[in-house]
Structure 1
Amino acid sequence: MARAALIAGLYVALTALVLPLSFGVPLGPVVIELRISEALAVLPLRYPESVPALFVGVWLANLMGGLGPWDVWGGSLVTLLAAYLTWRHRRHRLAVLWPVAANGLLVSAYLSVLLGLPYWATAIGITASEALVVLGLGMPLLRLLDRRVPS
């Protein structure tokens, strides 16, 4: 329970740390969303309690954004799905790609409508941003935790 609360709180704090980038920056028809808190999306590979923790963290963090219920509930439910699938397939080496795919394809669906941008351009931007954070920050985080924190 304590680890889940820590994960949810850390997600919110990291989102707030780089607030403008956390909620997407439209660059023409592409949205770049460098939410460093998404590095925590790898945690279901090791900690099952991170699945509901990430849902709660995203829900709370998205209350800070300006896209309302679509982002609060939509983003949270996409994260819950991605976290569950990451945990469910944790023994498969490509399991870490669930958050990348889910955010890239599903979050982009409502962001493109809310922001009036083309879906595929939005999906490419969100997918690339998510991959950068999950693979570039999340995987090193996981290696660090494997060396220093007991399961």
Structure 2
Amino acid sequence: MKTTARYIAQAAIIAAIYAAVTIAFAPISYGQVQVRISEALTVLPALTPAAIPGLFIGCILANIYGGGGIIDIIFGSLATLLAAFLSYKMPKKWMVPIPPIIINGIVIGFVLNYLYGLPLFITMGWVALGELISCYALGYPLLLALSHHYPHGI
């Protein structure tokens, strides 16, 4: 894929929105029970591949602010990168939100268990539930609303 000014601009805008929304809603964006409203944006890779680096960079910025330290910055952001890439590869619209739910549930569950000693499987469940809310209640309608603007997406 050729990197264009449009691609870079899209990635930058997505990164900025992701970070700003996460930080603006900080009380519900971090911790064992979290609903990151910004995770609704994880459906965007189905519409533009620029969302993959955009979500990754936005997550790095949000996690720097979040206070979980280098472990959260690295592993939380890499989880978002992997989930974004897999969302990009999903063959059907309804499947696009699945990778962030599963990957973040597992990875962030482990991160929170390691950092704060929270019970692993309960924490995985709470994170996955928050992702489910963000990705399907907010993200999926966003995907449907934007799909007609991106004919090369899903």
What TM-score comes out, normalization by structure 2 length?
A: 0.88
The C-alpha deviation readout for 1:91-139, integer Å capped at 9, x for no partner, is 4742320000000011111111211111000001000010011000001
Partner of 1:19: 26
- Structure 1 residue runs of 5 or longer lacking an equivalent are 25-30
1:122 and 1:150 map into 2 onto residues whose CA distance is 36
Partner of 1:27: none
1:121 and 1:96 map into 2 onto residues whose CA distance is 21
Match of 1:5 among 5, 12, 26: 12
Partner of 2:136: 135
2:150 and 2:76 map into 1 onto residues whose CA distance is 30
Contact 1:45 1:90 in 2 (8 A): no
The one-letter code of the counterpart of 2:140 is M
The one-letter code of the counterpart of 1:113 is Y
The C-alpha deviation readout for 1:37-65, integer Å capped at 9, x for no partner, is 00001111111110111000000111111
- Structure 2 residue runs of 5 or longer lacking an equivalent are 1-7
| Backbone CA RMSD of aligned residues | 1.4
What TM-score comes out, normalization by structure 1 length?
A: 0.90
Percent identity of equivalent pairs: 40
| Paired positions, count | 144
- 1:2-151 to structure 2, matched below 5 A, reads 2-24=9-31, 31-91=32-92, 93-147=94-148, 149-150=149-150
